[in-house]
A and B are shown apart, each in its own frame.
Chain A
Amino acid sequence: MSAKILTGVHYMLGDHACAEGAIAAGCRFFAGYPITPSTEIAEWISLRFPKFGGVFIQMEDELASMAAIIGASCGGLKSMTATSGPGMSLMLENIGLAVMLEVPCVIVNVQRGAPSTGLPTLVGQGDIMQAKWGSHGDYEIVAYAPASCQEMFDLTIQAFNTAEIYRIPVIILTDEAVGHLREKVVIPDESEIEIVNRKKPNVSPEGYLPYLPDEDLVPRMALAGEGYFVHMTGLTHDERGYPNITAEAHERLVRRLLDKIQKNKDKIIKYEEVQTDDAEILLISYGITARSSLKAVQLLRKEGIKAGLFRLITIWPFPYEKIEELSRKVSLIVVPEINSGQVRGEVLKALKSDLSVLGVNKLGGDLITPQEIVEKIKEFLKIRV
């Protein structure tokens, strides 16, 4: 295998496509700890990285992995880790640190059945809320939910770019089924891949304030060793980066951390709409389940039921406004997901009406089939008739 990115058409495992996407995005540091079903990402990286001068390190646990990628990013390397539920739980404290220090990095969570060790080899989509609320305190996060191997590649690149633009940890919230799916992946020429890098200071070290934001609310980032003598602390800090634990400093800092995502959310939020124009029933879905939902839309349409799909590509920030807008045109919203209704709750939050939101949920480590979605909808409609 060459030291170039694998431009061309491939038949590829989702996890490998994610790893290859990271390489294409310029990731040169990976720290991780093996856990099913994410391990193939680490394996692929360990095979490919030495050829790029990248460093793969298998740490002693996920706490270390997360801390290490923040450290490496402070030194200027684009950095990533990959894990699944139990490992994600261990990373949360340091994900908060990355938020507070404003250090770009990417965390892949290939979700499996949970809680606890749960169903190691089986699919789940139960970490939706954890991704947003898992670390302590108020913060905003960006999380992508790829639904195909192609998206595992594309959205990984996107995740790195978003991390660099906003100086945030970005989560790729995929699932076992997508991670272990094998399908066509088209990798473009290196020159066609858009890569974004963090903004560097535009003043001398004497005039530099490490946490003074630009207009986009994102401060410019000096790396270790450049002579800026940055101080970064997880404590509430001022523009110099020095601890300042007054209410005012806290309000100013945390508000900006929230705003830099919230105020840019139109640029960040991504979704896909299929036949929503004339839809009376709107399916909202993501990840592997969105593929069943798409098939369900087709089956319903065949029977003359006007269904459409709204596929979440970013789970966070959540597209509340867009969903509210779509909800005004439909008579029913259906949310299929492999958990007990985590995104359904967000949809309910988005609505201004008392429109029914039907959850199609499954616990048990299996996919939700298109037929199951169709049946559940028909059953619901019959009850309503």
Chain B
Amino acid sequence: MEVQVKKEVKHRLSRWIREERWPHIWCSGCGLGIAMSSMLYAFEELNLDPKEIAIVSGIGCTGRVAGYVKVDSYHTTHGRPIPFAIGLKIAKPEMKVIVFSGDGDIIAIGGNHFIHAARRNFDLICICVNNFNYGMTGGQFGPTTPYKAKTTTTPYGNFEYPFNLPYLAASAGATFVARWTCLHAYHLRQSIKKALQRKGFSFIEIISPCPTGFGRPNKIGEGLDEMKYYKEKSIIKNGIDPKDAELSLMGGNIVVGEFVDINKPSYLEILMENNERIRREEK
């Protein structure tokens, strides 16, 4: 009898993943896997050398991405991945430094760092997964939670106004701004690829389901239902003024697309130029 030896089939992305860390901690139906793999596909399609890339995360479910990707990766403190990444990028300007974290992490506790990194047009790729709540701590509300949404700390419905992240990023000075949902995997990957090939501050918001913390209490259903719901509500409007990039879960639309892509000298470009000038004048 002939024995058939099954060849081990490796996933196309396996070289980018710390497989020894599988299984991951994310709930089934969570959008984080797609958010992460969109980034990995972007690496793969650009044929990047893993040595060129560093990922910095803060704390939260999204923050766990740093631990799963096989590049130099840093899982820092809640809210501080951006300043950590700023130090790292200054030390290693030749690397592509990516901040990959949650909306609570980047916009609530780390909001100040976010606007200042955008203002400086600092050379970072900032990917923020917005699941409308704090997943890791059990589904509390945050600065992106929609009006009236139920969370564990808004049991009567949220009555705060949420941020519109692309608008915030653009008005603070970000030079590349995009928003996609997890199900816009192709577009998302293209935007990440664009961000990886440019200087300055790039911001990408990914609308992602969190069936555990957000979908269930708000009766949206399971992860896939939530994903489909976001996809159905979304309309692509590339190039619009980010202030018009509506994001409503109250019967309105989720406007997605690439809203800003402008050229402006980045922090590191100006820094290098200044330092060179100072040294030249010295002589």
Contacts and interface: CB of A to CB of B under 8 A. Distances in A.
A8 interface: no
Contact of B72 (A51, A55, A230): A230
B86 interface: yes
A59 interface: yes
Contacts of A93: 77
B107 to A, nearest CB: 15
A77 B91 contact: yes
Tell me the interface secondary structure of chain A in the complex.
mixed
Given A224-B92, A231-B67, A72 B87 contact: yes
A374 B275 CA distance: 53
Nearest to B268: A55
A55 B90 contact: yes
Nearest to B49: A227
B21 interface: yes
A76 interface: yes
A373 interface: no
B278 A50 contact: yes
B217 interface: no
B177 interface: no
A29 interface: yes
A67 interface: yes
B54 to A, nearest CB: 5
Given A3-B279, A61-B112, A233-B75, A55 B271 contact: yes
B218 to A, nearest CB: 30
B8 interface: no
Nearest to B78: A93
A71 B72 contact: no
Given A3-B282, A231-B66, A242-B67, A71 B51 contact: no
B132 to A, nearest CB: 25
A71 B84 contact: yes
A50 B70 CA distance: 34
A228 B84 contact: no
Nearest to B70: A229
Contacts of B282: 2-3, 51
A201 to B, nearest CB: 13
Nearest to B18: A231
A234 B77 contact: yes
A63 interface: yes
B51 A227 contact: yes
B73 A230 contact: yes
Nearest to A205: B51
A375 B73 CA distance: 59
Interface string A215-242: 0000000011111111111110000101
Contacts, number: 149
Interface in B42-68: 50-52, 54, 56, 66-67
A63 B83 contact: yes
A68 B95 contact: no
B75 A60 contact: no
Interface string B73-97: 1111101111111111111101100
Contact of B84 (A55, A61, A67, A76): A67
Contacts of A65: 83
A57 B51 CA distance: 26
Which of B56, B81, B88 has the most CB atoms of chain A within a 10 A radius of its CB?
B88
B71 interface: yes
A73 B87 contact: yes
B79 to A, nearest CB: 8
Which of B21, B72, B91, B282 has the most CB atoms of chain A within a 10 A radius of its CB?
B91
Contacts of A235: 75
A76 B91 contact: yes
A61 B91 CA distance: 20
A50 B272 CA distance: 9
Nearest to A101: B74
Given A60-B116, A70-B84, A225 B56 contact: no
Contact of B90 (A57, A61, A228, A234): A57
A243 B25 CA distance: 12
Contacts of A232: 73-75
Contacts of B21: 242
Contacts of A101: 74
Interface in A69-111: 69-77, 79, 93-94, 97, 101
Contacts of B20: 240, 242
A60 B111 CA distance: 11
Given A50-B274, A63-B80, A225 B72 contact: yes
B148 interface: no
Nearest to B278: A50
B54 A225 contact: yes
B279 A70 contact: no
B123 to A, nearest CB: 13
A170 interface: no
A50 B87 contact: no
A230 B91 CA distance: 16
A234 B76 CA distance: 6
A224 B275 CA distance: 24
B231 interface: no
Given A67-B76, A71-B84, A231-B18, A53 B92 contact: no
Interface of A: 2-3, 29, 31, 50-51, 53, 55, 57, 59-61, 63-65, 67-77, 79, 93-94, 97, 101, 223-235, 240, 242-243
Given A29-B91, A67-B83, 16 more contacts: A2-B282, A50-B274, A53-B275, A57-B86, A59-B116, A64-B86, A68-B83, A72-B87, A75-B87, A75-B95, A97-B77, A101-B74, A229-B50, A230-B73, A233-B67, A242-B67
15 contacts: A53-B279, A63-B79, A63-B83, A63-B113, A64-B86, A68-B87, A71-B85, A71-B87, A75-B92, A224-B92, A224-B95, A231-B73, A233-B74, A242-B20, A242-B67
